[in-house]
Amino acid sequence: MHIEMGAHVWTHEGQAAGKVTQLIVDPSQQTLDSFVVHTQWMGQDLIVPIRDVERVDADDTIHLTITDEQFRELRPYVVSEFVSGGSSYGTMYGYGGGVNSINMSGGGSRSQQFDYASGPLIGIPDLSSSVVSTESSLSETEFGITRGTRAMSADGHHIGSIHELSVADDGKVNGLVIASGHIRKHRQFVPKETVGNADSEAVYLRISAAEFKDLERKGQAENEQH
């Protein structure tokens, strides 16, 4: 089955749950463990385990095995950064559609009047001397792939962005689909054997940009024959 970014998600009772905003992968196990759904009626981001997928339709709509109530009880997707060091005010930051915040602690917690002549505007602190620690819903081996996650060739070229993952029923990754092109978008499947490393910034392939172009040409020729 294919899990696509932006795919519509429905609960077992036929309730529209939301859209997929991130794919949570574990490179050490080569698995798609779960995906993040931005809910339409709660405005939250919830983590859906891959085991809760009943089926994926031809139009990429995802149907879950869980009820509306069970869906609402899923774990929220949260990424929080905590800053310690001499500042007493903070602001909210967004990273990929989750519930994200920066909290200030240490170095003076009492209320202070902001001096416009001595610090940054709109409540954004100077973090140059601060220590930033992160708390996340994800484990240390997991990271999220979003619609903008880049695909990089072995020779360092940006060849496109990740469009969707192809996975088995147990979550094992079979390969991924890369969207490339500016005017005419082309989607090319690449098997997992061509994928090297990955992180939250990019997926790094074992093939060169020229080899990826060869795959695209072969794929386009096969599509024209059908």
Closest by CA position to 26, among listed 167, 183, 225, 147: 167
- Interatomic CA distance for residues 154 and 171, integer angstroms: 26
SS3 70: helix
Domain with CATH 2.30.30.240 in the chain: 2-72, 143-225
- Interatomic CA distance for residues 109 and 54, integer angstroms: 50
143-225 CATH choice from 1.10.357.10, 3.90.1010.10, 1.10.3470.10, 2.30.30.240 = 2.30.30.240
2-72 CATH choice from 2.30.30.240, 3.40.190.290, 2.40.110.10, 1.10.390.10 = 2.30.30.240
What does the pLDDT profile of the chain (226 residues) look like in tens digits?
A: 889 999 999 999 999 999 999 998 887 788 898 999 999 777 889 999 999 999 999 999 999 999 999 999 999 988 665 555 554 444 444 444 444 333 333 444 334 444 444 445 455 555 555 655 556 666 766 778 888 799 999 999 999 999 989 988 888 889 999 998 776 778 899 998 998 888 778 899 999 999 999 988 887 777 666 5
